[in-house]
Structures are given as structure tokens and as C-alpha cells.
Amino acid sequence: MRDVCIVGGGTAGLAASIFTARAGLDTLVIDGGESILARNASLENYPGFPDGVDARRYLQLSREQARNAGAEFELGRVTRVEPVAKGDLEQGFVLETEGGEPIEARRIIAASWSDSEYLVPLDVGRIQRGSKYFVDTDEAGRTAVDGVYAAGRLADEPHQAIVAAGHGAKVGLAVIHDSDANFYHDWVVPEGYFTGRGREVPPGCEEIDDAERRKRDELARTRMLEAFEDPLDEEPTMHPSVEQD
Ligand SMILES: Cc1cc2nc3c(=O)[nH]c(=O)nc-3n(C[C@H](O)[C@H](O)[C@H](O)COP(=O)(O)OP(=O)(O)OC[C@H]3O[C@@H](n4cnc5c(N)ncnc54)[C@H](O)[C@@H]3O)c2cc1C
């Protein structure tokens, strides 16, 4: 039984997984295909990239960051979610995937724009607008069903990558809060920031000394230089209804 299963490894799901995995929750991301962001031609409004970034590279690096944080990945489309024990949501949920073994998880984050059909058996509350269904949530991404959350565009957040990522992080924090993880903030601070004031380092936080800070900076710069060295071969995915030669 996983602590959390995130359905959808796009912008919101990846951000959520980075937070839940870093907080020590056993996190599985199930992804059934491609993020809608793979259709973008140049991502130019995501803070931190002054001249933009290749959206596919951003997705690749986010996946790598989630893996580094301890999240695991499985490919497959989730087709159905039900409680393990009817009437007792504390027992968690079982997720069916196309062609795969059923997966059990205590909590679920639906970050699967634009598919929420698999949630129908749970009656989470879906809102139809045109051909799309959004999942009804509170401000932290909690649905009407305890243990089931929704994040990103599926939760009716604005259709922008940074908003989806920020919302994924927020929903990840709600999951951490609702679990029994001992957590204050996910912060890495300089040595002495807490202990220098006679405080213990709070759960979820880490104090690092200057040598460690320089080591991490070196590692981060080396990886980013390597990651951005060559242009990616991948082309943006075209809208399926555009005819191409
Ligand atoms: C052409 C285009 C250009 C864009 N350009 C920009 C831009 O320049 N700047 C900007 O800020 N935003 C842009 N966006 C918007 C941005 O891509 C989205 O708002 C953002 O990706 C939404 O994130 P999300 O995680 O909610 O959904 P997604 O990133 O789409 O992730 C959803 C994931 O769930 C998976 N999934 C779906 N159903 C299932 C299932 N049943 N089981 C398992 N997995 C499932 C999908 O395969 C996908 O990987 C653009 C969008 C498009 C279409």
C-alpha cells in the first residue's frame, strides 16, 4: 500500500510528487501519456528562465527531480478507482490501470488533465463544462471524498504551467498535512538558522553548512550545464485535429 498515488505525471503531478516524496511519503506517479505542455513551442512565462525554456526539457528535468526526491513512476492509464473496503476510506483505495496490476494507495492525487472518468465510482463531484469535466475541490485540493485530491487544470486552475505546478505543490502539502508525516516546511537553510537561536531544526527542514551548500551548488550547476548543452531532438506535439503531411 503506497502512501500516495499521483495519477498524471504532468506539470501538477510532478510538482506534487516532489513535495510528497521529499516529506518521506511513499509516492508513486502513474502516467498514462503525455503532458499537454508537450504541445508548447517555447515556454516563456515560467519564472526562472529569463529567455524561456524548451517545455519538453522542463518536463524531463521535473521528472528527474521527482525521481531524485524518491518518487517512483509507472506508465499506464488509470481506468478505475474504488475504496479497498466499501464504507471505510481509512483502508485506502485500489487503482486499476490498463493492462497492469491493481495498485493500492492510502491517498490519491488526481492530476490527470483532462481525464477524471476513473473517479466516477467514488462520486468525488465533477463539474462539466463543454466536453471537459473538472473535479470539485476545496482551496487545498481536497475533494468530497476523504483521501482523494485533485490538482492542476483538472481542479479548474488557470491553464498555465506555473499555476499548475504551484497548485500541485499546494495539494502535495495538503496530503502531507493529512498524513501522519512529521512536517513543518520543506526548507533547506544555512547552518545555525534555527539552532543558532536555540531552536531544533523543525521536521521537513534541513540545516546545511557552507561546504555542503557549495557542494550542492556545484552538483546543480554541473547538471544544468549538461542538461542544457544541446538542443532537444523532440518536436512539440501538434493538436490532434490539425492535419499534417
Ligand atoms: C499548445 C499549448 C501551449 C501551452 N503553452 C503554455 C505556455 O506557454 N505557458 C504556460 O504557462 N502554459 C502553457 N500551456 C498550458 C500548460 O501546458 C497546462 O496548463 C499545464 O500543463 C497543466 O498541467 P496539469 O498537470 O494540470 O496537466 P498536464 O501537464 O497535461 O498533465 C496531465 C498528465 O496526466 C496524464 N493522464 C491523463 N489521464 C490519465 C489517466 N487516466 N491515467 C494516468 N495518467 C493520465 C497525462 O498523460 C499527462 O501526463 C500550454 C498548453 C497547450 C495545449
Number of domains in the chain: 2
Q: What value does the mean pLDDT of the chain take?
A: 96
What pLDDT score was predicted for residue 45?
A: 98
In a domain, 183, yes or no: no
> Are 108 and 165 members of one domain?
yes
Indicate if ligand 1 lies below 6 Å from the C-beta of 42. no
Tens digits of residue pLDDT in 57-107: 999 999 999 999 999 999 999 999 999 998 888 899 999 999 889 999 999
* Rounded Cα distance, 106 and 146, in Å: 10
For residues 51 and 157, state if they share a domain. yes
Ligand 1 test: best mutation among 6, 29, 37, 80, most atoms within 8 Å of CB? 37
Please give the distance, rounded to the nearest whole angstrom, from the Cα atom of residue 43 to the centre of ligand 1.
Answer: 13
- The CA 199 to ligand 1 mean position distance, Å, reads 42
Grid coordinates belonging to 133: 469535466
Distance from Cα 156 to the centre of ligand 1, integer Å: 12
Ligand 1 contact, 10 CB (< 6 A): yes
Domain of residue 91: give its range: 2-178
Cα(183)–Cα(23) distance, integer angstroms: 7
Locate cell 512539440: which residue?
236
Ligand 1 neighbour 12 (Cβ under 6 A): yes
Give the model confidence (pLDDT) of 166-202 as tens digits: 999 999 999 999 998 999 999 999 999 999 999 999 9
> Omega of the bond prior to 42 within 30 degrees of 0, cis?
no
* pTM (2 d.p.): 0.97
**Is ligand 1 within 6 A of the CB of residue 32?**
yes
Q: In this structure, are 27 and 109 located in the same domain?
A: yes
Determine the Cα–Cα distance for residues 66 and 62; give it in Å rounded to an integer. Answer: 6
Q: What average pLDDT score do residues 197-220 get?
A: 97
Query: Which of 146, 178, 210 is a domain's end point?
Result: 178
Residue 245: per-residue pLDDT: 67
The torsion of the CA quartet 240, 61, 54, 223, rounded to 10 degrees, works out to -150
Residue 112 CA to ligand 1 centre (angstroms): 8
Same domain (yes/no): 217, 107: no
Query: Do 108 and 192 have their domain in common?
Result: no
Pairing between β-strand 88-97 and β-strand 103-110 as defined by DSSP bridges: antiparallel
Q: Does residue 232 belong to any structural domain of this protein?
A: yes
Q: Does any ligand 1 atom lie closer than 6 A to the CB of residue 112?
A: yes
| 121, 152, 178 - which closes a domain | 178
CA distances from 220 to 56, 214, 216, 224 (A): 19, 10, 6, 6
Terminal alpha carbon distance of the chain: 47
Residue 152 and residue 10 in contact, taking contact as beta carbons nearer than 8 Å: yes
Q: Considering only CA atoms, which residue is closest to atom 48 of ligand 1?
A: 35
- Domain stops at, among 153, 178, 203: 178
Cβ neighbours of residue 176 under 8 Å, at least 6 residues apart?
A: 19, 20, 23, 25, 183
Is the beta carbon of 118 within 6 A of some atom in ligand 1? yes
Could you list the beta-strand ranges (E) of the chain: 2-7, 27-31, 72-75, 78-85, 88-97, 103-110, 126-129, 132-135, 148-150, 188-190, 206-208
Q: How do residues 76-87 score in pLDDT, each as one tens digit?
A: 999 999 999 988
